[in-house]
Chain A
Amino acid sequence: MSADRKTVLNAVHREMGARMVPFGGWDMPVHYGSQIEEHHAVRRDAGMFDVCHMTVVDLRGARARAFLSRLLANDVAKLQVAGKALYSCMLHPDGGVIDDLIVYYLAEDWFRMVVNAGTTDKDIAWLQQQAPAFGVEVRPRFDLGMIAVQGPHARNKALGLMVESLRDAAAALKPFSAVSDGHWFVARTGYTGEDGFEIVLPEGETEALWRDLARVGVRPCGLGARDTLRLEAGMNLYGQDMDESVTPLASGLGWTVAMADQHDFIGREVLEAQRASGDMPVFSGVVLEDRGVLRSHQKLFDGEREVGEITSGGFSPTLDRSIGMARLAADTGDRLTVDIRGRKLPLRRVKMPFVRNGQSQIDV
């Protein structure tokens, strides 16, 4: 895929010493010198990420809630307080995952979605295909920028840069909630396993906020650290841990699927059949016992039997150990081996997350 799309922060990244790489059609910073130091900055202090490549989509109309109830596997009926956010998959009729996203409830006739960069075009096409039946307007907001500020000191540092009228409301936000003054939209969400904000604002103000955050000691972080942070946090990555070929139930995302009551969403029948069959892969965290690095698509074995593969793997800077996520046969044991370049190394299954709020959640 070509990398000709640039976020509004592209020149600033280069100025701040970023190594740029192609990502989902975008030219993005992978790190600004050391991915590991950026990772630690987020776990111990504060870091920021350019997430302008992700897409904000506003959904407006009197039947916006009914529309989302049909399109999302999680249930927007859970969103009863304005500003509340919900993580969900959006499915094809065959149960495959079109994308994973966050949806915010702003008003009964206005919901806001944030979708992945690489899936934006197909997401919008899918939303627009389904929207007319509900009279919902689908409006991608390419006029908005977005910066994620993450880490134990991230909120304090960011609050000082907000106008007073917004600051108090933002300081009072509960996790997984958002507030807007009609100008900036501030959500207490993220993709790192740390506290923090994701700030959506007019594109023209994005560079000034980035520079102001740097000035108050928030470290610029690239996609590399974003990946190791989300992996430690046990958060799935679309295109790696799930895609259109698998269901959320086979991707460790059963907790995001609301099948109780009459929630009639696209893909439900396939998920019900899969659940009833009992023949469903399990999705698990794994820790490599030896030195080495787990990578996507490495094969896993229980004794001599091949039982699955790594979907996401990498080095955990917090645990100083390689960790991963794996899709495995249902009857797989806890002690496995992984084939790394022809050698079988021991690994064990663990409960995710690996790390939360700076603290290891597993024994290594």
Chain B
Amino acid sequence: MSNIPGDLKYTKTHEWVRDEGDGVVAVGISDHAQELLGDLVFVELPEVEAELVTGDECAVVESVKAASDIYCPINGEVIEVNEALADAPETINGDPYEGGWIFKLKAVEGEDLEGLMDAEAYAEHCESEDH
């Protein structure tokens, strides 16, 4: 069973979202997602200052097996990307929720995380996809 921290929000496409206050959120991929992908060998990061809309393909993670798009979870502007992943993409395998964060967004005014799943709903979602 993969690790699904209770204090994060999740998308159906397996991104996690952490509220860091002041309208800033961090985004990464879940433990379940990294398990499915296998050893990660490359991360294509979004551009800082890119203005993104929910559902945009904004980054790519590639494992030994396949490339997988990362979808933007909410409307916002990219304010920081995790440059350390360029040299160490495998950080996402070992530490998907802390060291493996991919980018940070400043949400547009009025945007919230209400449309995303909590840990319980995400666990059910993973379960249903496995069957």
Binding site for B on A (CB under 8 A): 19, 30-31, 34-36, 224, 228, 291-293, 295, 314-315, 317, 322, 341
Contact yes or no, B64 A36, CB < 8 A: yes
Chain B residue numbers with a CB within 8 Å of A314 are 64
Assess whether A291 is in contact with B60, with CB atoms less than 8 Å apart. no
The answer, yes or no, to whether B92 is at the interface (CB within 8 Å) is: no
Does A293 lie within 8 Å of B62, measured CB to CB? yes
Q: Which residues of A contact B38 (CB under 8 A)?
A: 19, 30-31, 34-35, 224
What's the least CB distance linking B78 to chain A, in Å? 18
Query: Which one of B64, B65, B86 has the greatest number of beta carbons of chain A within 10 Å?
Result: B64
Tell me the complex Cα distance, A151–B99, Å.
Answer: 34
B33 lies within 8 A of chain A by Cβ: no
Q: How many A-B residue pairs have CB under 8 A?
A: 38
User: In the complex, A30→B35 CA distance in Å?
Assistant: 12
The answer to whether B41 touches A293, judged by C-beta atoms less than 8 angstroms apart, is: yes
8 Å CB contact of A228 from B42, B64, B67, B86: B64
Closest partner residue, chain B, to A295 (CB atom): B67
Contact A315–B64 (Cβ < 8 Å): yes
A36–B67 Cα gap in the complex (Å)? 16
Check if A293 sits within 8 Å of B39, measured CB to CB: no
Give the A-binding residues of B (Cβ under 8 A).
Answer: 38-39, 41-42, 44, 60, 62, 64-67, 86
**Of all chain B residues, which has the CB nearest A21?**
B65
A34 and B65 form a contact (CB under 8 A): no
State the main secondary structure of chain A at its contact with B. Answer: mixed
Per a CB cutoff under 8 Å, which of A19, A35, A291 touches B64? Answer: A35
A291–B65 contact, CB under 8 A? no
Chain B proximity of A70: nearest CB distance (Å):
40
Chain B residues with Cβ below 8 Å from A295 are 66-67
Asked if residues A291 and B67 are in contact (CB atoms below 8 Å), the reply is: no
Q: Are B64 and A224 in contact (CB under 8 A)?
A: yes
**Additional pairs, 4, CB under 8 Å, beyond known A35-B64, A228-B64, A322-B42:** A30-B38, A35-B65, A292-B62, A314-B64
A35-B39 CB under 8 A given contacts A30-B65, A295-B67: yes
User: Do A341 and B64 touch across chains, with their CB atoms under 8 A apart?
Assistant: no
**A292 surroundings in chain B (CB, below 8 A):** 42, 44, 62
Across the interface, name the chain A residue whose C-beta is closest to B66: A295
How far, in whole Å, are A102 and B67 apart by their CA atoms in the complex?
A: 33
Q: Which residue of B lies closest to A34 (CB)?
A: B39
> Are B42 and A224 in contact, with the CB atoms below 8 A?
no
User: Within the assembled complex, what's the spacing in Å between the Cα atoms of A31 and B63?
Assistant: 13
Q: Can you identify 10 A-B contacts, CB atoms within 8 angstroms?
A: A19-B38, A31-B38, A35-B38, A35-B65, A224-B38, A293-B41, A293-B62, A295-B67, A315-B42, A322-B42
